[in-house]
Structure 1
């Protein structure tokens, strides 16, 4: 399996289902939606997809009948306990037959669980083993997920329910619309790209094992640079493609950000079949009520923010300081521009600033960050790994969040930071450009270079020196609304358009 086909780092924690308030869909007027995902934050989360998969279906339930399909990983089954079986799904080529389970969360969200122990009941993450290596059979594991989505769309597995539309997410579910197309079934489908860099690329020799017709291995099909791409299949065969911010939807139609798929994506854009819809964040991101914080606070009382800053400094072994506190809460991967942060550290420290970092990712970056902490004891603190409580206190206690990402399809950290009065210092790209108001709720830079980044850092330090400006920007940032309901309404509009255009049901 190629490196681009997996999510390389773990950054997340389980989120209680009760976090999102849901309500019953509006009678029989709502459409039946099958939301297909490889992770959901309630039980198993690797990145932002897990958060989206937990929050968006719940927000959509106010308008539609939504059910979620997810593989039956060991971690999920331990949390759920016994999952009643509602049907049996046949195999295809090397894809094994399996059972389909159905269960409801405490707040009433229906989950379909793909019960296939030989594929999913393992130690490790959804994508890699305990040593961090891709599962050797990832093509089989996620082709089985795509086939199950197609089966359910055809009325198989659960005889009591079939969707009007299937909503697919990233490469692990990318073959679902392809299997439907090869069966001649017209069920509408939405393919959401959360990160185009991860494409699920496998060798041509896997076509037979996955039940893919030889005729589909072409430019107008699943072929990508001589290999098979799950994500390209999803983009090509889906009725409509969405991605997670308006700016990223434009960026991926260019060679710079298109990862080799820009031509196909430009075609979808010209056809009116590519839409950018910004992700949201859930209502728990409220500094007045968050139980993880050392002290609550709001935009009119900053004492609690100071208490959280002190807590963070203690936790990371930093010296007492009156200077600005910069935070990094991120997957530690090249995409996130950690090399620029490392290069900027000397300047930040010399200006009286301190930096705290948490996350997990590429071993080289983890080692470089730990070396940085050793080089600047008391001024730089690094914790490899992720703890939600620590991360939330970092957002609450920091003055600024560093996000010099090379690209950022949506990004959630900059939204969390603003809600907690931490001003992002970020590259003007993707969702960062769509969610940060330069000079009002944060600091953006266009030139992706150390000089460009440092220019934004200097601007943030200048703002810190002006208590009036800092307070005004914090209040503006904390007033920003990133509610999921707006995203859900935008998706509902796309659903309606796609179902009408396909002309079924």
Structure 2
């Protein structure tokens, strides 16, 4: 009775990342559903976790009980209708695809792309300014004992070498983000018995690749080891808002080969700065980057094909950078001109979610 009035209020549930589902026990411990809400009756079959019958799945609650279900890109709304197969590099409904299929069949599932702010056009920073801020950031991380000191010291050493031997050499690849399987799985897996990352850096030749990020310890160690073995790779193991802002504008190509991407903001920030992106054709990346027009994208039906297409697409983009500078300039300009505004997204929210639910 306490909650009966809420039945009259239409509910919209937004999925930002289907892999984070909020699974907790139904009863028996302090963090269980029945401990939180002891007097709440609940529809067991609609909310129980598909893998653990004694647990509630909060993501599943939202999907099955809301009047509208919303994902943060149109492509992601379609991808989650299929089952996941990580062995082939396919991430879909993560066990909830049947619930999502029912929502889609009932017309309750909608994908609307997130927006980006376009207050000003970022300017390309000078090379010296980027290296200076990177060095200051690493020094700060070392003195405050943030992250892996060995990795930081090696990054400083690598930057000194690059400034001495390759200062100003292009192209410069940039990657910024969390170090997780979602973002970097395709780079760390082997293709033809060698990590894709090693082959990517060999293709880059005299160019450089700067990666800024922190996260899973396995990925941090992997990229630290890669830096020690490749002179053209700088791994900045941490996060700095000021440094990331410079790097978004500094690169020639932004690398974002996420194995799945509900929406993504990094590609929008890079494009806003006029930097084309190399992306996997999934989720919001597929909805923002158009291959050969405002960036470069690759796909594939298996893990091996995705890795092959990643490397060949990179090779094609590097060749274009060196051999057709005018075409590269047009692609960069198209990236800078692309607009994914919040005004447009909000109007879709009103039309497809809130007014439709009222």
Report the TM range for the smaller structure's normalisation: 0.7 to 0.9
Of the candidates 223, 230, 244, which is equivalent to residue 58 of structure 2? 230
1:495 to 2:354 alignment: yes
- 1-side partners of 2:314 and 2:201: how far apart? 8
Higher share in helix: 2
Kept after mapping to 1: 8 A contact 2:47/2:58: no
1:311 to 2:146 alignment: no
1:337 is matched with: 184
2:191 is matched with: none
Q: Measured at CA, do residues 213 and 254 of structure 1 come closer, stay the same or move farther in structure 2, by a change above 3 Å?
A: farther
Q: Structure 1: 5+ residue runs without aligned partners? A: 1-153, 155-178, 288-295, 297-304, 500-505
1:210 to 2:16 alignment: no
- 1-side partners of 2:186 and 2:83: how far apart? 23
- 2-side partners of 1:238 and 1:217: how far apart? 13
- 2-side partners of 1:219 and 1:455: how far apart? 47
Kept after mapping to 2: 8 A contact 1:446/1:452: yes
**1:261 shift after superposition:** 0.7
Q: Measured at CA, do residues 309 and 434 of structure 1 come closer, stay the same or move farther in structure 2, by a change above 3 Å?
A: farther
1:323 to 2:170 alignment: yes
Of the candidates 87, 93, 97, which is equivalent to residue 258 of structure 1? 93
* Aligned residue pairs, count: 303
Of the candidates 321, 330, 350, which is equivalent to residue 464 of structure 1? 321
Kept after mapping to 1: 8 A contact 2:254/2:270: yes
Matches within 5 A, 1:353-364: 353-364=207-218
- 1-side partners of 2:25 and 2:47: how far apart? 15
Of the candidates 257, 269, 276, which is equivalent to residue 423 of structure 1? 276
**1:497 shift after superposition:** 1.0
Kept after mapping to 1: 8 A contact 2:74/2:112: yes
Q: Structure 2: 5+ residue runs without aligned partners? A: 85-91, 135-154, 189-194
- 1-side partners of 2:120 and 2:20: how far apart? 28
Kept after mapping to 2: 8 A contact 1:344/1:450: no
Q: Measured at CA, do residues 409 and 184 of structure 1 come closer, stay the same or move farther in structure 2, by a change above 3 Å?
A: closer
Q: Measured at CA, do residues 376 and 184 of structure 1 come closer, stay the same or move farther in structure 2, by a change above 3 Å?
A: closer
Kept after mapping to 2: 8 A contact 1:217/1:228: no
Matches within 5 A, 1:398-413: 398-413=251-266
- Structure 1 length as normaliser, TM-score? 0.57
1:245 is matched with: 73
Name the structure, 1 or 2, with higher relative contact order (CA <8 Å, separation 6+): 2
User: Could you list the per-position Cα deviations for residues 12-40 of structure 1 after superposition, in whole angstroms to 9, with x for gaps in the alignment?
Assistant: xxxxxxxxxxxxxxxxxxxxxxxxxxxxx
Q: Measured at CA, do residues 286 and 259 of structure 1 come closer, stay the same or move farther in structure 2, by a change above 3 Å?
A: same
Query: CA RMSD of the aligned region, Å?
Result: 2.2
**1:313 shift after superposition:** 4.7
SS at match of 1:216: coil
User: Could you list the per-position Cα deviations for residues 436-494 of structure 1 after superposition, in whole angstroms to 9, with x for gaps in the alignment?
Assistant: 01011111110243212101111210121121111111011100011111011111112
User: Could you list the per-position Cα deviations for residues 287-325 of structure 1 after superposition, in whole angstroms to 9, with x for gaps in the alignment?
Assistant: 1xxxxxxxx3xxxxxxxx3x4445335536133142310
- 2-side partners of 1:308 and 1:436: how far apart? 26
Kept after mapping to 2: 8 A contact 1:406/1:427: yes
Q: Measured at CA, do residues 219 and 308 of structure 1 come closer, stay the same or move farther in structure 2, by a change above 3 Å?
A: farther
Q: Measured at CA, do residues 274 and 260 of structure 1 come closer, stay the same or move farther in structure 2, by a change above 3 Å?
A: same
Kept after mapping to 2: 8 A contact 1:308/1:393: no
Relative to structure 2, which stretch is displaced further, 421-430 or 217-226?
Answer: 217-226
SS at match of 1:461: helix
Kept after mapping to 2: 8 A contact 1:216/1:223: no
Of the candidates 239, 259, 263, which is equivalent to residue 386 of structure 1? 239
Kept after mapping to 1: 8 A contact 2:275/2:332: yes
**1:375 shift after superposition:** 1.7
Q: Measured at CA, do residues 405 and 496 of structure 1 come closer, stay the same or move farther in structure 2, by a change above 3 Å?
A: same
Kept after mapping to 2: 8 A contact 1:360/1:386: yes
Kept after mapping to 1: 8 A contact 2:47/2:56: no
- 1-side partners of 2:126 and 2:116: how far apart? 21
- 2-side partners of 1:217 and 1:252: how far apart? 24
Matches within 5 A, 1:279-318: 279-284=114-119, 286-287=121-122, 296=123, 305=124, 307-313=125-131, 315=134, 317=159, 318=162
- 1-side partners of 2:321 and 2:339: how far apart? 24
- 2-side partners of 1:338 and 1:220: how far apart? 32
SS at match of 1:415: helix
2:310 is matched with: 453
